[in-house]
Structure 1
Amino acid sequence: MATLQQRFDEAQGILAARLREIRNMAGLTGRDLAQQAGWHFSKVSKLENNKQLPTEVDVREWCRICDAESHIVDLIANVRNINTFYTEWRRLEETGIGHVQRSFLPLYERTNQFRIFQHSAIPGLIQTEAYARGHLSLIVNFRSIPDDVDRAVQARMKQQEVITTGTRRFAFLIGEQALHTPFCAPGDMAGQMDKLTEVSRRANVSLGVVVWRAETGIWPPENFWIYDTEQVRVDTVPGQVRVKAPGDVVLYEKAFQTLSESAVYGAEAQELFASARRKWIGQE
């Protein structure tokens, strides 16, 4: 499994490669670019070989010289992303997972449109209290962090108020596997299925189940949350990535749309919830 540092280096390497590609497409040597920018000739090499992270000013100058101004917005977003590459959970978790859960609320409150994909767990915004306790307890045990699950569950329940207040819209896509992954006792899992049925009937919520098909178009390996059209939260094992580059956000939007086409909604989804509920209470 890649460490945070390895993933940081990988992201910086991708940025360096994009800068090199832009220079090559402009037909400039490294010395040509450095001379026109008024830099020492070695700076271009350092930027292209992942030895130095460019500043926003560097990116603007690079693109200006290479006649590639259309790339400026995405490249600057990548620079900012790398500078704050991870919401590093270990730093937050020093004071417990409850603090992590509370830290999400300001973002949730200022977001108007949520698009959320989770393949094997129910998203926190539509979990029952029992399911949330089981889910968060698993995270605490796996990561060996301070156990303040009670506060974390309380914070997660508080987050759910964003669904019932204001004019926010929510589109949830969950993998069919999520209906059958036990994060709590069977009776509590049955209660979670009831919760999904209830949520699916809300006017401001679209809840789809991505069912197994021979062809789905795409099946991302990670869960992701799209907040409006501004940023994406991608959940990984070592931490969370916040994606803000406009081009990358668009790609996640395309992934969400593609997944939505493999999902079932309304009565079909509710029948899946009911079938899973019967399984959890031993009637199937």
Structure 2
Amino acid sequence: MTTDFQNARESLGARLRELRAEAGLEGKDVAARLGWQTSKVSRLQNGKQTPTRDDLTAWARAIERPDVEAELHGLLAGLDMKQRHRSWRRQLAGGHRGRQEIAVRQTEATQRIRGLEVSRVPGLFQTPQYARAIFDANAEFRGITPTTDAAVEARMRRQEALYDPDKVFRFLVCEAALYHRSCAVDVMAEQLDRLYNLVGQRRIELGIIPFGAQLRRTVPHAFWIYDRRLVIVETISEELWLTGADDIELYERAWDWLAESAEYDATARRLIGRARASLDLS
């Protein structure tokens, strides 16, 4: 749970406590009026439990303050935004390893992962040296302490899921990602060789969106869809964790439309091979 989220939840709890005290009530009085356990009242007031909209409506009525219902709902909406928006500054404060361990757990809990990458190779398909270059560059960009060895180890451990017979991976990669290079040329060559060999493997569908493809929708940004329960979107400053049905449906439609313009199998190999041949290894 992020610090931003917890701070916001504690602030909401403090407001509930303040409103109760203004009404001249004890926590046990609110619990009795609502038919709740006193422990629930305590958890809500101390920011240990996230209230629902119904909880907040009931609270406003219990303290005979229906006028604060909208205010409490607004605070809850802000709380939800804190949970959806996860700043990189906080997530990477101790380096990359912690976030990579989260990725391992998310992958373990998912049967079907769909993803779109615009300018880099998906983490699940990266070689150790390519991943190392990505982590080192990001640590320098963000001015954080590198934990590259541990982060690479976690990323490689995550890739064990590719061999799980119960999982399916469907990825779209823009052709630009085959040429954008944040690593040494020999590392890029090795990475493209790995991609080439992944095309056509069981349970892995890898589509390349060519430079000249006609698109029903332009490519917006990278995103990953975990089953039908979670979409993760990366920006420069934060990650968005989207769990709403409308959000998931929208990203599924974006993925489906872009998949129509991708090339697969032999043509995908040809595009990867062309990028590999363009490297100057002399």
TM-score of the two chains, using structure 2 as the length reference: 0.73
Q: Cα distance 1:81–1:224, how it changes in 2: closer, same or farther (>3 A)? A: farther
Asked if the contact 2:176–2:211 (Cα under 8 Å) also holds between the matched residues in 1, the reply is no
Deviation of 1:41 (Å): 4.1
Whether 2:39 is the aligned partner of 1:40: answer no
Does 1:53 pair with 2:53? no
Once the two structures are superposed, what CA deviation does each residue of 1:94-148 show, in whole Å capped at 9, x if it has no partner?
2211222122111110100000101001010001111111111111111111111
Identity of aligned residues (%): 32
Superposed counterparts of 1:66-77, under 5 Å: none
C-alpha separation between the residues in 2 aligned to 1:92 and 1:82? Answer: 16
CA distance in 2: counterparts of 1:43 and 1:220, whole angstroms = 41
1:202 matched residue in structure 2 = 201
CA distance in structure 2 between the aligned counterparts of 1:80 and 1:158, rounded to whole angstroms: 33
Cα distance in 2, alignment partners of residues 217 and 80 from structure 1: 35
- Please report how far the alpha carbon of residue 81 of structure 1 lies from its aligned counterpart in structure 2 after TM superposition: 4.2
CA distance in 1, matches of 2:262, 2:133: 26
8 Å CA contact 1:208, 1:269 repeated in 2: yes
User: Does the 8 A contact of 2:127 with 2:194 survive in 1?
Assistant: yes
For 1:219 and 1:121, the matched residues in 2 are separated by 17
Q: How has the CA–CA distance of structure 1 residues 82 and 137 changed in structure 2, closer, same or farther, with 3 Å as cutoff?
A: same
147-156 vs 274-283, greater mean Cα deviation:
274-283
Q: What secondary structure does 1:263 align onto?
A: coil
Say if 1:218 and 1:262 are closer, same or farther in 2 by CA, change over 3 A.
Answer: same
**Residues 213 and 262, structure 1, Cα contact 8 Å, conserved in 2:** no
Q: Distance in 1 between matches of 2:264 and 2:256?
A: 14
Superposition deviation, residue 281 in structure 1: 3.7
The 5 Å alignment of 1:1-284 reads 40-41=66-67, 43-44=69-70, 46=71, 52-54=74-76, 81-213=80-212, 215-281=214-280
What is the CA-CA distance between 1:249 and the residue it aligns to?
Answer: 0.1
| Count of aligned positions | 224
Q: Which residue of 1 aligns with 2:33?
A: none
What is the distance in 2 between the residues matched to 1:275 and 1:212? Answer: 13
- Deviations along 1:58-96, one digit per CA (max 9) or x if unpaired, are xxxxxxxxxxxxxxxxxxxxx774241223332232221
For residues 263 and 204 of structure 2, the distance between their equivalents in structure 1, rounded to whole angstroms, comes to 14
- Deviations along 1:214-247, one digit per CA (max 9) or x if unpaired, are 6412224321000000110001111111000001
Instruction: Give 2:52's aligned residue.
Output: none
Query: What SS does structure 1 have at the residue aligned with 2:218?
Result: coil
Q: Read off the aligned partner of 2:189 and give its amino acid letter.
A: A
Q: C-alpha distance in 2, partners of 1:80/1:232?
A: 19
Letter in 2 for 1:249: I
Q: 2: CA distance between counterparts of 1:187 and 1:254?
A: 37
Larger Rg: 2
Distance across 1 between alignment mates of 2:100 and 2:210 = 29
Distance 1:114 1:81 in 2: 24
After superposition, the C-alpha distances for 1:1-47 in whole angstroms (9 at most, x for unaligned) are xxx99xx9xxxxxxxxxxxxxxxxxxxxxxxxx99xx8634654x57
Q: CA RMSD in A?
A: 2.6
The alignment partner of 1:84 has SS state of helix
- Per-residue displacement from partner, 1:149-206 (whole Å, max 9, x unpaired)? 1111111111100101242000010111000011211111111111001111211000
SS at match of 2:144: coil
One-letter amino acid of the structure 2 residue matched with residue 113 of structure 1: R
Which residue type is aligned with residue 254 of structure 2?
A
Deviation at 1:282, TM superposition (A): 5.1
Q: 1:80 to 1:269 in 2, by over 3 A?
A: farther
Whole-angstrom distance in 2 between the partners of 1:261 and 1:99: 35
Q: TM (normalized to structure 1)? A: 0.72
Q: Matched residues in 2 for 1:54 and 1:90: separation?
A: 24
| CA–CA distance in structure 1, aligned partners of residues 203 and 184 of structure 2 | 30
* Deviant stretches of 4+, over 3 Å: 38-44
Q: Give the Cα–Cα distance (whole angstroms) in 2 for the partners of residues 167 and 43 of structure 1.
A: 46
Matched to 1:273, the amino acid is I
5+ residue gaps in structure 1?
Answer: 9-33, 56-78
